[in-house]
Amino acid sequence: KQEVTQIPAALSVPEGENLVLNCSFTDSAIYNLQWFRQDPGKGLTSLLLIQSSQREQTSGRLNASLDKSSGRSTLYIAASQPGDSATYLCAVNRRGSSNTGKLIFGQGTTLQVKP
Amino acid sequence: KAGVTQTPRYLIKTRGQQVTLSCSPISGHRSVSWYQQTPGQGLQFLFEYFSETQRNKGNFPGRFSGRQFSNSRSEMNVSTLELGDSALYLCASSLRGGPTDTQYFGPGTRLTVL
């Protein structure tokens, strides 16, 4: 059974700091891993999608890495800003014909960036 | 391109009632997935529809059902509501629900059961 864990559950940093969010998964048989951002009471915004054959993806100040063999992914946020404050979720798309459209989510890391 | 839209955004129901939620995917997307988000359980997969067929289903009781129309719009229905059904219901769309597809989420429907 695939389980996804995110540590820490909450993180508070001063503005301008670089930070890393962690995601681990128990089954390496995945198609891809996706990072999302969720603002309070809102839906999810896709940030980065890493295919299982890839090692990392970058978008602006965000960089996500994937180490499938160790079951880990990190989301690196450079020069954090107060507008980055949100909950960050990782989700894996597990291999298998019966798993279409199904993402397995971690519990998320709630980030607060203080001005 | 318009994003995923969900209606209504907020609902208040009482125990025993039933409710229908609607999701309109991004134009051209044929796969729609539904998720339930609660503080205790986090995000959990409900089901996925593709070309009007349910392809995948999560571990939820039969009170939760859904369907997809020929224009890819999807509805989910919850019958005999329980207090524990209070949650944010999110739908996501993708081109085909395939392994390389990015899923795009709507803003959600907040359901409160009293």
Q: Determine the pLDDT at residue B99.
A: 77
Bridge partners, residue A88, by sequence: A37, A109
Tens of pLDDT, residues B16-68: 999 999 999 999 999 999 999 999 899 999 999 999 999 989 999 999 999 99
Mean pLDDT on B96-106: 87
| pLDDT one-digit tens code per residue, A34-47 | 999 999 888 999 99
Share of chain B above pLDDT 90, in %: 88
List all residues of chain A from 10 to 39 with a beta carbon under 8 Å from chain B.
31-32, 34, 36
Exposed/middle/buried for A13, CB within 10 Å: 0-12, 13-18, 19+?
Answer: middle
As to burial, measured by CB atoms within 10 angstroms (0-12 exposed, 13-18 middle, 19+ buried), residue B71 is exposed
| Statement: residue A89 has pLDDT above 90 | yes
Site from B32, B43, B54, B57 to mutate, A interface, most A CB atoms within 10 angstroms: B43
Confirm or reject contact between A104 and chain B (CB < 8 A). Answer: yes
- Residues of chain B contacting A53 with CB distance shorter than 8 Å: none
Higher pLDDT, B8 or A101: B8
Give the pLDDT confidence score for residue A65 in this predicted structure.
97
Q: Which of A100, A105, A109 to mutate to test the interface with B (most CBs of B within 10 A)?
A: A100
Residue A23 pLDDT level (bands cut at 50, 70, 90): very high
What is the separation, in whole angstroms, between the first and last Cα of chain A? 41
Of the listed ranges A54-58, B24-28, B51-55, B97-101, the least confidently predicted one is B97-101
With a cut of 70, say whether residue A99 has pLDDT above it. Answer: no
pLDDT of residue A97: 62
CA angle A21, A27, A31 (to 5 degrees): 80
Report yes or no: A89 at the B interface, CB cutoff 8 Å.
yes
Distance separating alpha carbons of residues B2 and B111, to the nearest angstrom: 24
B110 contact residues in A (CB cutoff 8 A): 41
Cβ atoms of A66 and A55 within 8 Å: the answer is yes
